[in-house]
Amino acid sequence: MHIKSKQILIFLILSILFILSMFYRVSNAIIAPHLVKDLNLNAEELGILGGAFFWSFALFQIPMGPMLDRIGPRIIITIFTFIGASGAFVFAIGKSFIILFFGRILMGMGMASVLMGSFKVLTLRFPSNRFSSLSGLLVSIGAFGNLLAATPLAYLDHVIGWRIVFIFASIITTFFAFLIFWSLTETGIANMGSGTLSSQKKIGFFQSIQTIAGSLSFWQISAAAFFRYGTFISLQGLWLGFYLMDVKG
């Protein structure tokens, strides 16, 4: 089945939102020295700031699926993206550890809808035989967020300062929140019929959680992700830069 130009636009918007999500995740690694200097943070507070995004991000994954099913990705992605944008703005203007912590919490909460919401959109708006290739492409494009949070962020931090960078990031995120609301109209649903809707309504939230919690495959995958990604992001997302600069020169 041919992918239409409107579908391509939707995919590009979702991809950019995921780039922003990945950017927010690891941005503290580059600006950490300035956070320490500007707000007199210690190592413990810096680590808490780094983890705050992921705490709220993980917490909101639990209700995210039911909300996407019952309310729809258009509303959920839009609202949560606005929350993420507000978090970036709060982080940019924060003058204390508590305010920055709150900003990171909002960023994690807001970006929690992006990837799962994108997968939901792919199932509703694109041919089913394109899901695997498009979801893989989406995740691959999102990796550019990690690259933006490296040398480009370091350069902008030096030129205009990290606060201005996050104000601009907040504005860009807000813009794409409007775009996703505009692009995801109620028409053009590719695969979702009344049978799918009715089957979703028959499964309650707690029953869904119980089903997932009883799956051995879920725990195997989760355990692998817990140790692999947790170690990876703690190094890449914060501490490895300090180590290379201070220990290896």
pTM, two decimal places: 0.84
| Sign of torsion over alpha carbons 25, 44, 101, 66 | positive
Whole-number Å distance between alpha carbons of 77 and 14: 10
pLDDT at 221: 84
Q: Is residue 27 part of a domain?
A: yes
pLDDT at 194: 39
Q: Is residue 217 part of a domain?
A: no
Whole-number Å distance between alpha carbons of 212 and 198: 20
Check pLDDT > 70 for residue 245: no
Q: Is residue 74 part of a domain?
A: yes
Q: Is residue 208 part of a domain?
A: no
- The total number of residues shown for the chain amounts to 249
Q: Is residue 243 part of a domain?
A: no
The three-class DSSP label of residue 127 is coil
pLDDT at 239: 64
Whole-number Å distance between alpha carbons of 229 and 43: 21
pLDDT at 106: 98
Q: Which CATH number fits the domain that encloses residue 13?
A: 1.20.1250.20
pLDDT at 214: 83
The half-sphere exposure of 138 on its side-chain side, counting CA atoms within 13 A, is: 26
Domain total for the chain? 1
pLDDT at 242: 62
Of 229, 109, 86, 232, give the one whose Cα is nearest residue 169: 86
Q: Is residue 164 part of a domain?
A: yes
> What is the average pLDDT value for the chain, to the nearest integer?
86
**Tokens in use for 189?**
């649903």
Check pLDDT > 80 for residue 193: no
Task: Tell me the CA end-to-end span of the chain in Å, nearest whole number.
Answer: 54
Q: Is residue 201 part of a domain?
A: no
pLDDT band of residue 201 (cuts 50, 70, 90) is: low
What Å distances lie between residue 36 and 51, 101, 226, CA to CA? Answer: 16, 14, 28
Q: What is the pLDDT of residues 56-80, one digit of tens each?
A: 999 999 889 889 988 999 999 999 9
pLDDT band of residue 192 (cuts 50, 70, 90) is: very low
Q: Is residue 189 part of a domain?
A: yes
Please tell me the least confidently modeled range out of 125-134, 162-171, 227-236.
227-236
Q: What is the pLDDT of residues 132-155, one digit of tens each?
A: 999 999 999 999 998 999 889 999
The domain containing residue 168 runs over which residues? 5-193
Check pLDDT > 60 for residue 179: yes
